Amino acid sequence: MRLNRRKIIDKIMLGIISILAIASAIPIFAILVNVYSEGAKYITLNFLIDLPPPPIGDGGGGIGPALVGSLILVLLALVIAGVIGFFTGLYLSEFSHTKLAQYAQMFLQIMVEFPTIIIGLFAYMVLVAPLKRFNAMAGAIALSIVIIPYIALNVREAYKSIPYTLKEAAFSLGVSAPVAYLRILLNAARHGVLTALLVGIARAAGETAPLLLTILGTTFTYFGGLDQPINAIPLLIYNFALSPYEKWHQVAWGAAAVLLTIILAIFVISRLIVREVKT
Amino acid sequence: MSAQKIFPILLAFFATTSLLIVTGIVISLVVNSYPIFLRDGLSFIFRSAWNPVREDYGILPALLGTLIVSAIAISIALPLAISLAVFSAELAPKSIKRIINSVSDLMAGLPSVIYGLWGLYVLAPALNQYVMTPLHQYLGFVPLFSTKPIPTNLFTAGVLLAIMIIPFASSIIREAYSAVPHHLKEAAYSLGMTRWEVIRTLLGYIRSSILAGAFLALGRAMGETVAVAMVVGNTLTFPRSLFDIGYTIPSLIANQFPNAEAYSYMMPALYGGALILFIAGLIINLAGLYWIRRVMVKS
């Protein structure tokens, strides 16, 4: 009798766990289905190129300026954060015994958890307030601060995972440290480093909060210089979704489908890289 | 030979940037919020006011909103995250496990503005129709449900945040669960325990990791900006129930920032809110990191 009750409780609890686990995965599928069913129909070549439509009236319109802006911002952020993040990660991995490395790693772990809006406030003070104008450079710097910790910590993992014997072999060749780390060992860590950069790109492409305080985003021009306001896809989705115009809501869904496709593509590529390493 | 010596210094220079950035951020928050604390002292934190014309600011409602929204989020997310972790680590067959982990990684990497868009146009109306309105109708006498709900409110923001932090909390718990020494599990089974009893025992064994996951997820929830700003209602009133419209500190900053330049104390007030958010988040995240590190030292 007693054994029986335990078996029944066992079945019930396992059932509850399975149901809750499946329930927690439902939203992602709902999001994928909703974004594509609402947004995919607007995506045409013109949608990717054209200026946004007027809120009322005819004309398809598109997300051209936001797409160009996002490309510029992500590229700039990748260059800045890629350089800083890569060398920081290398230092964390190879000089992990130093006090500086220990502190830097702790600070980076805290930075990952920073509310990104605070990074926006910082970029505003440093780069927007002095210029008295919202500008692309402030947005790019803010994005790079957001992704530096992701890149640095992933690069650290990549270099840490190189077998010690390989490192010894590289240095026994008698080459200098830069050559050993950046030519020989980088080759061994290349998948991890590439994944680190891809993670950074995906983060930068989808980040919105710091852009609210740095690039303004309401401009209808494609690109006017790094000291001028610029638009970005996530910011356009945010602004248009909250606008009262049905037409702009449609553009927001279309832009969300574009952004989701970019994120999915990066996700699949990084999965393929990881799989290649494992086999 | 000189490259040999310069290289570590060059690397150290780059590693220093993270220290400089964090220091710079702290300085920018302190310097810019200084005027409001100088004028109002701590009453800025404990008062409910937002009147730019009279330059009167108190962020208590936004602070409470942040706490309410993240409390809703974590209490919904934690049971689901634990279930997801256990299901993936213990119950699911290997092929399904791979799919679950991929899906959960994808969820964690999805931009918050997409969650926000979906939350605003799909989740909020559905919650309003199937959850909040019935709760208000039948349990309206309970203070928590006493406000007549509109789709975007504190509760909707809490649910959306829960969805966003589940994969994050779950991956920390999953990792800890898989790292439990195998002989422990075998010992538990050899006592004649049922599967559920073994799971319960192992969950007890990794409780510090569960706590760490909860704290780190809570930190994320408190700092999330755009997704919350899209569904929380954005009104600075004192929250009277879960279904009241409200503000969180990040969404307050996102929404009020465009007007801030026009007033002399609004900018300091927003930086002050950010400073409080930063300190609260730092404490919570350090607690989370501390518990994770303790587990790592133990094993």
Distances (CA, A) of B17 to A73, B2, B21: 20, 23, 6
Asked if pLDDT for residue A219 goes beyond 70, the answer is no
Could you tell me which chain A residue has the CA closest to the CA of B26? A122
Tell me which amino acid residue B4 is. Q
Residue A61 token pair: 């319109």
Q: Touching check for A115 and chain B: CB below 8 Å?
A: yes
Give the C-alpha separation, B28 to B30, whole Å: 6
Is A98 near chain B, with CB under 8 Å? yes
- Work out the percent of chain A whose per-residue pLDDT is above 90: 62
Which among A13, A35, A91 has the least Cβ separation from residue B118? A35
Shortest Cα distance, chain A CAs vs residue B174, angstroms: 12
Longest dimension (CA), chain B: 80
State the smallest CA–CA distance between residue A31 and chain B in angstroms.
Answer: 6
If pLDDT is split at 50, 70 and 90, which confidence band does B297 have? low
Substitution target from A80, A121, A150, A201 for chain B, most B beta carbons within 10 A: A121
Per-residue pLDDT tens over the stretch A144-192: 999 999 999 999 999 999 998 988 898 888 888 888 888 889 988 999 9
With CB atoms and an 8 Å threshold, state whether A95 touches B223.
no
What is the rounded CA–CA span in Å between residue B94 and residue B127?
A: 34
> Chain A residues with CB inside 8 Å of B247's CB?
none
Q: Is the pLDDT of residue A217 over 90?
A: no
As given in the structure block, the two tokens for residue A217 are 């985003």
**Closest by alpha carbon to A104, among A155, A67, A69, A178?**
A155
Mutate to test the interface with B, among A3, A113, A134, A173 (most CBs of B within 10 A): A113
Lowest mean pLDDT among A18-32, A115-129, A172-186: A172-186
- Residue B234 is assigned to a structural domain of this protein: yes
Measured between CA atoms, the residue of chain B closest to residue A89 is: B15
The DSSP secondary-structure symbol of A41 reads: G
Q: Supply the pLDDT for residue A122.
A: 95
- Whichever domain contains B40, its CATH number is 1.10.3720.10
CB pairs under 8 A between A and B: 245
Tokens 């054994």 — which residue? A3
Residue of B nearest to A86 (CA): B14
Domain count, chain B: 1
Structural domain of residue B190, as residue ranges?
21-298
List, for residues B7-51, the tens digit of each pLDDT value.
889 899 999 999 999 999 999 999 999 999 999 888 888 888 888
**Residues of chain A contacting B93 with CB distance shorter than 8 Å:** none
Single-letter residue type at B28: S
Domain assignment present for residue B11? The answer is: no
* Range A60-70 average pLDDT: 89
A57 burial (CB, 10 Å; 0-12 / 13-18 / 19+) is exposed
| Option in A115, A234, A259 nearest B223 (CB) | A115
* Residue B3 lies inside a defined structural domain of this protein: no
A136 touches chain B (CB under 8 A): no
Residue B66 lies in a domain: yes
Distance of CA A135 to the CA centre of its chain: 20
